[in-house]
């Protein structure tokens, strides 16, 4: 969590705003990965 998103897991658990922000970014990253995988697969 710290390395990928720049905050600790405990901070992630405490802050709803940060949790939402990180989850939106994770969703974008996931969609981008799926597009890349589809190009090669």
Q: What is the pLDDT of residue 24?
A: 97
Q: What's the pLDDT score for residue 1?
A: 84
Q: What is residue 26's predicted lDDT score, i.e. its pLDDT? A: 95
> Over the chain, what HEC string results?
CHHHHCCCHHHHHHCHHHHHHHHHHHHHHHHHHHHHHHHHC
Number of domains in the chain: 1
**Domain encompassing residue 29:** 2-40
Tens of pLDDT, residue by residue over 3-37, are: 988 999 999 999 999 999 999 999 999 999 999 99
């Amino acid at each position: 969590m710290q390395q990928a998103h720049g905050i600790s897991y405990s901070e992630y658990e405490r802050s709803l705003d940060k949790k939402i922000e990180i989850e939106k970014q994770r969703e974008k990253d996931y969609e981008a990965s799926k597009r890349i995988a589809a190009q090669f697969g």
